[in-house]
Amino acid sequence: MLQKIKINDKEFVEQYMAFNLAHRYIICEACLKSFDLGNWVVKKSIGIEIISQYVGMLEDTAMIYYALKEKSKYKSFFKSLSEIVIKEPRNSNYTYTSEKIYKELEELEKISFEDFIKILNLPLPKEAAKFAEASLINNLGGQEKAQEQYKKETIEFLNNIKNAIRNRFQDKKGRDLDLVKIYNMIKHGSIFVDDTTNEESVYLPTKIENVDQDGKEVLVEAYNLICNKEFLQKWVNQMKILSDNLKNILNIFCLHNY
- Tell me the mean pLDDT in the region 94-111: 83
Number of domains in the chain: 1
Pairing state between β 218-226 and 193-194 = unpaired
| Structural domain contains residue 95 | yes
- pLDDT score, position 214: 86
| Structural domain contains residue 219 | no
- pLDDT score, position 166: 83
**pLDDT greater than 90 at residue 82:** yes
Q: What percent of the chain has pLDDT over 90?
A: 49
- Tell me the mean pLDDT in the region 50-58: 93
Q: Count the neighbouring beta carbons within 10 Å of the beta carbon of residue 189.
A: 8
| Structural domain contains residue 199 | no
CA nearest neighbour of 43 among 197, 229, 191:
229
| Structural domain contains residue 137 | yes
Task: Give the integer Cα–Cα distance in Å for 127 and 256.
Answer: 8
For the stretch 121-171, pLDDT in tens is 999 988 888 887 766 677 778 888 888 889 899 999 998 888 888 887 776
- pLDDT score, position 188: 87
- pLDDT score, position 165: 86
| Structural domain contains residue 207 | no
| Structural domain contains residue 221 | no
For the stretch 167-212, pLDDT in tens is 877 766 666 667 888 888 888 889 999 999 999 999 998 888 899 8
- Directed axis angle between helix 40-69 and helix 143-166, to 10°? 130
Q: How confident is the model at residue 92 (pLDDT cuts 50, 70, 90)?
A: low
| Structural domain contains residue 169 | yes
**pLDDT greater than 90 at residue 65:** yes
- pLDDT score, position 145: 84
Going by C-beta distance under 8 Å and a sequence separation of 6 or more, which residues neighbour residue 215? Answer: none
| Structural domain contains residue 183 | yes
Residue 203 β-bridge partners: 193, 224
- Tell me the mean pLDDT in the region 1-27: 94
Please state which of the ranges 3-7, 9-13, 104-108 shows the lowest mean pLDDT: 104-108
Task: Give the integer Cα–Cα distance in Å for 158 and 189.
Answer: 35
- Tell me the mean pLDDT in the region 208-229: 89
> 100 lies in which domain range?
9-191+232-257
**pLDDT greater than 90 at residue 254:** yes
- Tell me the mean pLDDT in the region 54-64: 92
Distances (CA, A) of 133 to 18, 39, 129, 255: 21, 51, 9, 13
Over the chain, what is the mean pLDDT? 88
